[in-house]
Amino acid sequence: MKKIFSIVAVALGLIAGGYPIQQVETTYKTVEVGPATIEIERTGSEVSMQVEGIPEDGELSVSRGSTQIAEVDEGLFEDNLAESSGKGTYTFSLESPMSLDSEPVLNGKINPKDVHEYVNLDVVSVKVPLSASDTMAAFAASPLPTRTRFRYQTFIPEYDTDAPPLVCAPISTGDYILITNFLGDNRSWNPDSESFKTRSDVVIDWGAGGSITPEFSVGETSLVLEYIFPFGAGNTTVVQKRTAADDSMKLERKVMSSSYVSFKISSDVSNPFCFGPLVNGIFYEFAFSVYRDGVYTIKGSMIKVPSHEFYTRNNVDPSWRTLFRFSNQGFQCLTKGWVGCILPKEFNGDLVQ
């Protein structure tokens, strides 16, 4: 079925898990999820959620991070935050049939005869407050992002660098000495720089059901050949430019929804001037598990050359946040057979502060 998304976000502050909840006073909150009303009650570490007004044939799911919260009785969901290892963030997803009086039908976006092919999907994310005194500040509206972008780049910080001998550099002859260099990107860490060797962007559109769109780019490679004639007149410098194919840069979509996505990116771009069978490409491969409320895990591996930088941002907070940076460990890793060049990497955190 096609889904129409009505996104509402209410953020309330709470940290649980690993930290004892000292107070036993009760806090309450009423949340609207489409036509349904949810009364949230927290006493100590115990949280109960009573749901009223679910439409006929409607279906509500409640989750905390990757944990699905069980319905213990009709319309009643219960959870214990003392068993949580993360933030007490609950996501309510209500899927209900589209009706003839729904806004998309009334404004002409959906033909009435096709209404049976659609459903409404309302999503609300809530963080339960730690104490009654936190309630007012914690209940202040803080919208969740509708778009999240990840950017993974590789680059050479230096202005230029020696070409790896044999596999990437032509050989001198008896007539001349040949000095071979590759131009670098001549920069430091910078997510917005347009000078890079590879760039993998992934955009998650939460409002479109967690659709995932890749944007792959390969930077131009410049080879500088300096011919020195020790017994002749003058020297000669030749610059050649090529751009490697991006065929190896791939996105594998796994799960897509308005509250959670998972996918994998991979790359193995080789220098277009090097002898392919003897060289390694710029390799990385990472699997993503990302929740719209901000919790994420990224796991994979990468080659230790050149420098790698990884960032994220979203439409709520458009400034780039650094996920990790890794400095080039040596161009010898471009030669096949060199050991210790692949680095496993795993990290996690919260994208929504």
Highest mean pLDDT among 5-9, 28-32, 317-321: 317-321
pLDDT tier at 258, thresholds 50, 70, 90: confident
Q: Which domain holds residue 109?
A: 2-138
Q: Are residues 73 and 152 in the same domain?
A: no
Structure tokens at 147: 């778009």
Domain final residue pick, 73, 103, 138:
138
Q: Residue 82: pLDDT above 80?
A: no
In a domain, 87, yes or no: yes
Q: Are residues 59 and 203 in the same domain?
A: no
pTM: 0.63
Q: Are residues 6 and 132 in the same domain?
A: yes
Using CA atoms of 12, 18, 20, 25 in order, give the dihedral in degrees to the nearest 10: 20
Q: Give the whole-angstrom CA distance, residue 207 versus residue 2.
A: 13
List pLDDT tens digits, range 137-174: 444 445 788 899 999 999 999 999 998 877 888 877 77
In a domain, 318, yes or no: yes
pLDDT tier at 175, thresholds 50, 70, 90: confident
Q: Residue 274: pLDDT above 60?
A: yes
In a domain, 8, yes or no: yes
Q: Are residues 215 and 339 in the same domain?
A: yes
Q: Are residues 119 and 151 in the same domain?
A: no
Q: Are residues 203 and 343 in the same domain?
A: yes
Q: Give the whole-angstrom CA distance, residue 40 versus residue 58.
A: 20
- How many alpha carbons fall within 13 Å on the CB side of residue 130? 12
Q: Give the whole-angstrom CA distance, residue 212 versus residue 250.
A: 12
> Cα dist. 125→13, 64, 229 in Å?
12, 9, 71
CB 24 within 8 A of CB 159: no
Q: Residue 89: pLDDT above 50?
A: yes
Beta strands 295-303 and 282-291: pairing type? antiparallel
Domain final residue pick, 75, 104, 138:
138
Highest mean pLDDT among 82-91, 110-119, 133-142, 299-308: 299-308
Q: Are residues 203 and 113 in the same domain?
A: no
Percent of the chain with pLDDT over 90: 46
Residue 58's nearest CA partner among 77, 40, 41, 75 is 75
Q: Are residues 128 and 151 in the same domain?
A: no
Burial class (CB in 10 A: 0-12, 13-18, 19+), 143: middle
Mean pLDDT of 15-44: 71
Mean pLDDT of 109-128: 77
Q: Are residues 15 and 81 in the same domain?
A: yes
Beta-ladder partners of 77 = 49, 71
List pLDDT tens digits, range 200-232: 999 999 888 899 999 999 999 999 999 888 776
**Residue 109 gets which letter from DSSP?**
S
Mean pLDDT of 20-48: 78
Phi, psi of 197 (to 5 degrees): -90, -45
In a domain, 343, yes or no: yes
Q: Are residues 93 and 151 in the same domain?
A: no
- Please tell me whether the peptide bond between 35 and the residue prior to it is cis, using omega within 30 degrees of 0: no
Q: Give the whole-angstrom CA distance, residue 31 versus residue 47.
A: 14
In a domain, 306, yes or no: yes
- Total number of domains in the chain: 2
Mean pLDDT of 114-126: 77
Percent of the chain with pLDDT over 70: 86
Beta-ladder partners of 149 = 203, 313
Q: Give the whole-angstrom CA distance, residue 37 versus residue 33.
A: 6
Q: Give the whole-angstrom CA distance, residue 341 versus residue 303.
A: 6
Kind plus residue range of the DSSP H or E element containing 31: strand 26-33
Residue 280's nearest CA partner among 347, 348, 332, 228 is 332
Q: What is the pLDDT of residue 129?
A: 64
In a domain, 170, yes or no: no
Q: What is the pLDDT of residue 8?
A: 45
List pLDDT tens digits, range 41-70: 888 788 999 999 998 888 999 988 778 899
Window from 80-89, 131-140, 187-196, 209-218 with minimum mean pLDDT: 131-140
Q: Are residues 152 and 121 in the same domain?
A: no
Window from 122-126, 137-141, 187-191, 283-287 with minimum mean pLDDT: 137-141
Beta strands 321-326 and 160-162: pairing type? unpaired
Long-range contact set of residues 23-28: C-beta below 8 Å, sequence gap at least 24: 23/130, 23/131, 23/132, 25/131, 25/132, 26/132, 27/128, 27/129, 27/131, 27/132, 27/135
Q: What is the pLDDT of residue 277?
A: 87
In a domain, 297, yes or no: yes
Beta-ladder partners of 74 = none
Q: Are residues 329 and 251 in the same domain?
A: yes
Residues ≥6 apart with Cβ < 8 Å to 176:
227, 228, 229, 230, 232
Burial class (CB in 10 A: 0-12, 13-18, 19+), 268: middle
In a domain, 55, yes or no: yes
SS3 assignment, position 21? coil
Residue ranges of alpha helices (H) inside 48-131 are 103-106
